[in-house]
Structure 1
């Protein structure tokens, strides 16, 4: 008899716990997506879902957004300011993402640059990777304090960071959005629209598989 009562008590505890867990999960609002988590925790398509575009760095002519082939040191920018990255299948290529402001900029210098490469077709998918499917990548997202140097950008206020990509057997040509924010200050936890100023930019990046 005591065993039956104990079993009934344990079963009741389990059922009550499962009921509470179900209620919590069903009533939890969609998680907000903070960079560099665009499209991972929710369906937000870019940084502006959480952060304001209120920074002073609006002038495209003084804004530096470039992708450099690390081996040749040549820019991969096209005439329309998009980027074309050709890569031989199953071979790795390292590029440098260069972001910042020109040396003659009179505005206050951004403190931190944030950027991510995202395939818009992957937004809303269950995959944690938002890079182009079939492409290996080691650093598609980053946040970095301004102060790097690079030949050809002397005096500019920039960040520079390498990213290596490799098209696997499953890779196809793809088009990415390079989302960039120049920022200063710190966001308030729980309300990313306050405390930090930032200017948002976006560029198209085309990945080309060379057979």
Structure 2
């Protein structure tokens, strides 16, 4: 009898413990949890652009209502990790040249120069996406034939980088590599500077942000 009582107690304890985890959702980053409405939509950023949905840009979910629309004080840059030089062209676009089958790492730098008159963005989101792939069923929305290890990010500001001492930025490396199928391609770099938190299920409420879009040209170089 005593043995049965101990066994039942153990089973009951295990049942209570498991019940605490069943159905529990991870809301550490709530934008990435799925909405269980009957329409089956997922509310997320930046994967909501072309990846979890076929939205063409961030403004399909978010509103362009922030204080940082003046681009003269904004920082949107792509820097060669080895040379530390910006890859920005004279027309404002970016060009990344990579030898076929070789890897190149660039730094995506997003932020704003310190301005005492305005509050600073708190979190920056960005995604590199091939616009031609958004409406397709391809699992990769990056340029076809190009490998990439960090296509998108959503990051709190506070990174440090030489040359950007008087700015509030985020900076992360991205490595790309053209395969034998890679061709010259054009990407859209979609960026949002944000502050605050979007309401779950209504991303147009609760968060202030400004949206920007830059052209990024990928050029594959074939060695003789």
**Which of the five TM-score ranges fits, normalised by the shorter chain?**
0.7 to 0.9
Q: Gaps spanning 5+ residues in structure 1: where?
A: 1-26
Q: TM-score, normalised by structure 2?
A: 0.79
Give the stretch that moved more between structures: 121-130 or 182-191.
121-130
1:139 corresponding residue in structure 2: 150
Q: TM-score, normalised by structure 1?
A: 0.84
What secondary structure does 2:125 align onto? strand
Instruction: Describe the superposition over 1:53-96 as per-residue Cα deviations: whole angstroms up to 9, x where unpaired.
Output: 10010111000000000000000000011000000000000000
2:84 corresponding residue in structure 1: 73
> After superposition, where does 1:24-63 map in structure 2 within 5 Å?
28-29=38-39, 31-32=41-42, 34-37=44-47, 38-63=49-74
Q: Does 1:107 align with 2:118?
A: yes
1:28, distance to aligned residue in structure 2 (A): 4.8
1:170 corresponding residue in structure 2: 181
Q: Find the aligned partners of 2:39 and 2:151 in 1 and give their Cα distance.
A: 28
1:137, distance to aligned residue in structure 2 (A): 0.2
CA contact (8 A) 1:100 1:156 kept: yes
CA contact (8 A) 1:98 1:159 kept: yes
Q: Find the aligned partners of 1:175 and 1:136 in 2 and give their Cα distance.
A: 14
Query: Given the superposition, is the C-alpha separation of residues 175 and 80 from structure 1 closer, same or farther in structure 2, using an over 3 Å criterion?
Result: same
User: Which of 197, 201, 217 lines up with 1:190 in the alignment?
Assistant: 201
Pairwise CA RMSD = 1.5
**Large movers: runs of 4+ above 4 Å:** none
Q: Find the aligned partners of 1:105 and 1:47 in 2 and give their Cα distance.
A: 28
Give the number of aligned pairs: 185
